[in-house]
Structure 1
Amino acid sequence: MNDMRAALYDSYGPPEVLHVGTVPVPVLQQGQVLVRVHAVSVNGGELYGRAGRVRLVTGRKFPQRTGIDFAGEIAEVDPAVTGLRPGARVWGVLPRTFGSAAEYIAVRPRNLAYAPENISLVEAASLPVGVTAITALRTRGRLKPGRRLLVRGASGGVGSIAVQLGKVLGAHVTALAGPKNLDFVRELGADEAFSYTTTGPSDLGRFDVIMDTAGTELRAFRRLLAPGGRMISISFDIDHLAASLGYILASTVHGRGRVQFFSDNPKHDRLAELAAYVESGQIRPVVDTVHPLSEIAAAHRALEAGGVRGKHVIQVV
């Protein structure tokens, strides 16, 4: 076993630059495990990377890889690793890099955990980035029972988990989503659901926590925060990056309503916590469409088109 299939691109551009090629199977370093990947999901950051919109980070060396999260089973364990065995079902997120859309990946134990036993690995692949919702709502937002939560982008991959988690934490959840997804987010548990095409910030009330997955109109939505409220953004307006980040920075210094931006780097404990929520039935996976690895370009195109419900998942094996 020397080579494997992986999603690659040889230049920045539209989804069509993606193709399936052959690369060497990773050689385990000390303290790593080799995971046979069953499925991954498509995330917004990968779209920016493939399009070359963050090339200061991704660089100009090609071919480049894609994929952040994964679900699969352990194929090999370095002798220095204890507590993990070949054949175990695991899921996780690569630490600030791309490359999980492949048959095998090498990863350290702190970046994975046992996958939930009550769902398939394809379903599991839709969930690992959901740990972002746990960090955003409970740690950054300090969401408590009875508080009012607004989720922007409530039908998407992270937003759909945030809606569910908000209800688990006892909040009153208001969801903003596309007009075709309002019943869907209500089924996830939202107490109220509004279309972002017809409902603007001025049409909404006050909230204790706002979870933003859009990265736009931060100033307008910040005005909806109740005293002491917190707005957590996991995205940014790539077309107005300096202004968006400058506003977030200023809001952490001035004013009662703070806007926080963060890019999560999930670790074992949070992944294990998410697995417990799934196994208890409190959070369920939401898969929009399952695509074979050979159709990864179509999956990217579909996510760019919008209107997604949960995740586009790439089945590798």
Structure 2
Amino acid sequence: MTTGPVPRPRPGEVLVRVRAVSVNGGELAMRTGRLRPFSGRRFPKRVGIDLVGEVVVGTGRFAAGELVWGGTGRRMGSAAEYVAVRAEHLDHVPAGLDPVRAAALPAGTTAITALRDKATLAPGERLLVRGATGGVGYVAVQLGKAMGAHVTGLASAANLDLVTELGADEAIDYRAPGDLGRFDVILDTVGTDLPAFRRLLAPRGRMVAIAFDLERPVRSLGYLAAHAMHRTRWIRFFSGNPTAPLFAELGRWVAAGVIRPQVDRVFPLADIAAAHRALEQGGVRGKIVVELP
């Protein structure tokens, strides 16, 4: 860990004293150099994509002392005591949520974008969520049910109980899935074996991927691009960059009791390396959160 001065917010930025952040798969790949074509070759990298904290210096609708959540946009670095964040990437935390539980939820904006905006999931459709107990997947299971879908969640055998608790109609061990049938929408948070899962799509099915195969990045991204323009059984890949309206929508789902936070483990900032190792080991039940004093 390194130290430095408290950042000075620029016009349009809010200075936030960070209380908690989550650990995300994308920052693991970035930190370990597996995304050099996108990240550049200068290391070490700062980590942290999302945050929950108290406003120190506000602007516009944000006043000092308020609890906010949000993200750092297309850059990393939220795992710090103080962060200056563009106001358009922040919103107020719903009442009743403490910082640790709130930090388990910002990745849910990706689930909203995937199911509502990209796949246009409709009531009665069949939804398959790969990685159903991961940071995006556990929210997608809850959201899919709220949107009226029949939800199947793939997860490790040890986590199938959580998939059921989240409301899935079916909880299936990804190592022994058997005949899964056909799905109208597939949300892929894993990135591997995309052709096999595309074959599970119904004739008008849609797959939304938020990950690609890091062992075969060129082939994986090429496959995604080749099938993005299909009129049927298509695949869309995206990387989230949520702004205030999306965080506000997430807050409404949470306030309504539709989406609840799921915290796997909590680490202090001094042990953030251990938090990263815990996510790398897999089998996570929700979100791994790093708490700051």
User: What's the TM-score once normalised by structure 2's chain length?
Assistant: 0.98
Q: Give the match's secondary structure for 2:216.
A: helix
Cα distance, 1:47 vs. partner? Answer: 0.5
Q: Give the match's secondary structure for 2:27.
A: helix
Query: 2:31·2:44 contact (CA, 8 Å) conserved in 1?
Result: no
Specify the alignment match of 1:276 in structure 2.
252
Specify the alignment match of 1:140 in structure 2.
118
Specify the alignment match of 1:37 in structure 2.
18
- What whole-Å deviation, never above 9, does each CA across 1:89-128 have from its counterpart, x for those lacking one? 1000111111000001101111010011121111101111
Matched, 1:236 2:212: yes
Q: Give the match's secondary structure for 2:28.
A: helix
Report runs of 4+ in structure 1 exceeding 6 Å deviation.
Answer: none
Taking the aligned partners of 1:183 and 1:50, their CA distance within structure 2 comes to 32
- Aligned 1:124-135 pairs, distance under 5 A: 124-135=102-113
Cα distance, 1:63 vs. partner? Answer: 4.5
Specify the alignment match of 2:288 in structure 1.
312
Q: Give the match's secondary structure for 1:186.
A: helix
- AA at the equivalent of 2:120: R
Cα distance, 1:61 vs. partner? Answer: 3.4
Query: 2:110·2:136 contact (CA, 8 Å) conserved in 1?
Result: yes
Q: RMSD of the TM alignment (CA)?
A: 1.1
Taking the aligned partners of 2:23 and 2:229, their CA distance within structure 1 comes to 34
Matched, 1:172 2:150: yes
Matched, 1:87 2:65: yes
Specify the alignment match of 1:54 in structure 2.
35
Taking the aligned partners of 1:196 and 1:88, their CA distance within structure 2 comes to 42
Taking the aligned partners of 2:135 and 2:20, their CA distance within structure 1 comes to 15
- AA at the equivalent of 1:269: P
Cα distance, 1:58 vs. partner? Answer: 2.5
Specify the alignment match of 2:7 in structure 1.
26
Specify the alignment match of 2:81 in structure 1.
103
Taking the aligned partners of 1:25 and 1:281, their CA distance within structure 2 comes to 36
Identity of matched residues, %: 58
- AA at the equivalent of 1:196: Y
Specify the alignment match of 1:11 in structure 2.
none
Taking the aligned partners of 2:41 and 2:161, their CA distance within structure 1 comes to 43
Query: 2:111·2:139 contact (CA, 8 Å) conserved in 1?
Result: yes
C-alpha spacing 1:222/1:62, structure 2 compared with 1 (3 Å): closer
- AA at the equivalent of 1:28: P
- What whole-Å deviation, never above 9, does each CA across 1:131-187 have from its counterpart, x for those lacking one? 000000011111011110000000100000000000110100000000100011100
- Aligned 1:103-252 pairs, distance under 5 A: 103-199=81-177, 203-252=179-228
Cα distance, 1:62 vs. partner? Answer: 4.4
Specify the alignment match of 1:8 in structure 2.
none
- AA at the equivalent of 1:270: L
Please list every run of 5 or more consecutive structure 2 residues that lacks an aligned counterpart in the other structure: none
- Aligned 1:246-261 pairs, distance under 5 A: 246-254=222-230, 256-261=232-237
Please list every run of 5 or more consecutive structure 1 residues that lacks an aligned counterpart in the other structure: 1-19
- AA at the equivalent of 2:130: R
- AA at the equivalent of 1:227: P
Taking the aligned partners of 1:105 and 1:137, their CA distance within structure 2 comes to 30
- AA at the equivalent of 1:312: I
Taking the aligned partners of 1:60 and 1:148, their CA distance within structure 2 comes to 42
Cα distance, 1:57 vs. partner? Answer: 2.8
Taking the aligned partners of 1:151 and 1:275, their CA distance within structure 2 comes to 22
Taking the aligned partners of 1:292 and 1:60, their CA distance within structure 2 comes to 29
- What whole-Å deviation, never above 9, does each CA across 1:38-79 have from its counterpart, x for those lacking one? 0000000111111111123333434431100000110012xx
User: What's the TM-score once normalised by structure 1's chain length?
Assistant: 0.90
Cα distance, 1:227 vs. partner? Answer: 1.7
Query: 2:93·2:102 contact (CA, 8 Å) conserved in 1?
Result: yes
Query: 1:93·1:129 contact (CA, 8 Å) conserved in 2?
Result: no
Q: Give the match's secondary structure for 2:171.
A: strand
